[in-house]
A and B are shown apart, each in its own frame.
Chain A
């Protein structure tokens, strides 16, 4: 199966690399969003699918990193690497603190405390107007200045390849994480924490590190998003954003890295196409969630994967 997997991944990357050549800049922009939400959804899946910890506050790290980088970019720092590093560090600090609180809980309580903590951040973004501009958010953020490399990132296609670069790195990095002894132990903790503890593993540390890793890659997505839109607002920290990424993971199928990508690409595409045709896209999106879960309770990707495996082995 290994060589097949590697070959499909390679084909997928090549497709992502050549598709923009044939597309108008509107669709290239759409593909940028797909990549951003792809990273975001995969990062949540590390926590949810592999760690068994469904978070309804994953927008926290996404938003904090986006706000930090955007704020610095607007306030005189003209160096992408500096801005991005600051965003990652501040979001890591948030993860370090939140991790202590949320990992005291599990299951539904975990879902709810992550939700509540991210709403606290949303409240800060909403109220701390001198820094965040409140409800208006930070707008007019310029595309990144890479300093050492001269790239015209204001060009959508160039920005697409910039995002694709980070998407591929993030995907490979996350794949390495879940395949590593760390990832396997994490899965063990997910399936039976008591058993792993009996075997001498410190389950808490594994969950904590998974929480930080998930937050890190969500921050990467947040940073790509803030420079693409030139904007970050309280909505980027809101439960609606957290719920959206959670639904992408569930819809695609938690516990695989491909599932979240399927979910993210699907929902971004669907939202954009349908909203062009009808005002009732929210209704249709809701119907799709309901139908998918009735006919594929584990998400879209796992049954497809099993069918392909069966077909290949028969």
Chain B
């Protein structure tokens, strides 16, 4: 019994990390129609920066905030000066963002070397918590908490704030939004910055159990794509449900059928896509 509870918690906490990663990817695609294949690279870069900040400051919060801010700045610069030129050119975006995958991978290798690096678990959240007679790793519970908070924040941001309304208006009709005085370019740039900051947040939160190593960028990108495919592009709810689904599938797949671990993610995805080509919550393109 204990096995199932702990594995479920592990699966959900992994799912929450995936949500941090996939929410930004989904948002950027759904709202701005941009395919960003460098999203996994932002995740990796964020993790490396977080680990480095932690090494010098020994402060977990500072590591999280520092990585998120650094990646937000990078994202804003990239969107403002480069991606904006390729509006609507999907193939161009693929080439461009893959170019960034290569550049970020090589610079990371140069700066941080080829060894896997982990973040120490912050001392406050080490060890285990017992709830109702069942013991859970405390840090996993923290990850779930952060994931839920971010999900709530994003939901509120989209539905309840003026910027969120502006974003949705800009997606539906860019020209009309401009005409009634909304600053569309600024809005899209801000959303892009939020998405890269979220990827970094996911990276640092995952630091204690996933860490950063060469190749984690492509792995993270693949998982984020699977989540977004299952959930449906552009849907926050889809990203949330898809993340938890993939987190559980991956966790139980690895625990129960270690030799089939890749199938337990990709096979359900192929089936879902065959039945619902736009994902569970996606709009028709």
Contacts and interface: CB of A to CB of B under 8 A. Distances in A.
Interface string A288-314: 111011100100000000000000000
Interface stretch (B53-61, B135-143, B255-263): B255-263
Given A101-B274, A282-B102, A287-B103, A293 B96 contact: yes
B229 A112 contact: yes
B23 interface: no
A294 B98 contact: no
A119 interface: yes
Contact of A286 (B92, B106, B260): B106
Give chain B's interface secondary structure class.
helix
Contacts of A246: 94
Given A104-B277, A127-B259, A289-B96, A111 B35 contact: yes
A117 B92 CA distance: 23
Interface in B226-285: 226, 228-229, 233, 259-260, 262-263, 266-267, 269-270, 273-274, 277-279, 285
Interface in A243-268: 243, 246-247, 250-251, 254
Interface stretch (B14-22, B43-51, B81-89, B154-162): B81-89
B233 A108 contact: yes
A122 B196 CA distance: 29
A283 B270 contact: no
B111 to A, nearest CB: 12
A250 B92 contact: yes
A105 B273 contact: yes
B270 A117 contact: yes
B238 to A, nearest CB: 13
Nearest to A288: B99
Contacts of A240: 218
Contacts of B277: 104-105, 109
B273 A113 contact: yes
B102 A120 contact: no
B107 A250 contact: no
Contacts of B106: 280, 282-283, 286
Given A108-B35, A109-B278, A290 B270 contact: no
B120 to A, nearest CB: 30
Contacts of A140: none
Interface size range on A against B: 35 or more
B226 to A, nearest CB: 6
Contacts, number: 124
B285 A251 contact: no
Nearest to B107: A283
A120 B270 CA distance: 9
A101 B101 CA distance: 28
A251 B218 contact: no
A151 interface: no
B102 A286 contact: yes
B262 A54 contact: no
Nearest to B274: A101
B110 interface: yes
B274 A286 contact: no
Taking each of B89, B228, B270, which has the highest tally of chain A beta carbons within 10 Å of its own beta carbon? B270
A280 B106 CA distance: 7
A13 B7 CA distance: 61
B253 to A, nearest CB: 11
B113 to A, nearest CB: 13
Taking each of B29, B96, B285, which has the highest tally of chain A beta carbons within 10 Å of its own beta carbon? B96
A247 B225 contact: no
B270 A294 contact: no
Nearest to A101: B274
Contacts of B101: 286
Given A112-B225, A290-B103, A280 B266 contact: no
Contact of B90 (A107, A247, A288, A294): A107
Interface of A: 48, 54, 100-101, 104-109, 111-113, 115-117, 119-120, 122-123, 126-127, 239-240, 243, 246-247, 250-251, 254, 280, 282-283, 285-290, 292-294, 297
17 contacts: A54-B91, A105-B277, A109-B233, A109-B279, A113-B270, A115-B225, A117-B266, A119-B262, A120-B270, A122-B262, A123-B262, A246-B94, A247-B98, A250-B92, A283-B106, A289-B99, A297-B86
Interface of B: 29, 35, 82, 85-86, 89-92, 94-96, 98-103, 105-107, 110, 218, 222, 225-226, 228-229, 233, 259-260, 262-263, 266-267, 269-270, 273-274, 277-279, 285
Given A286-B103, A290-B96, A294-B82, 6 more contacts: A113-B270, A117-B270, A123-B266, A243-B98, A254-B91, A293-B86
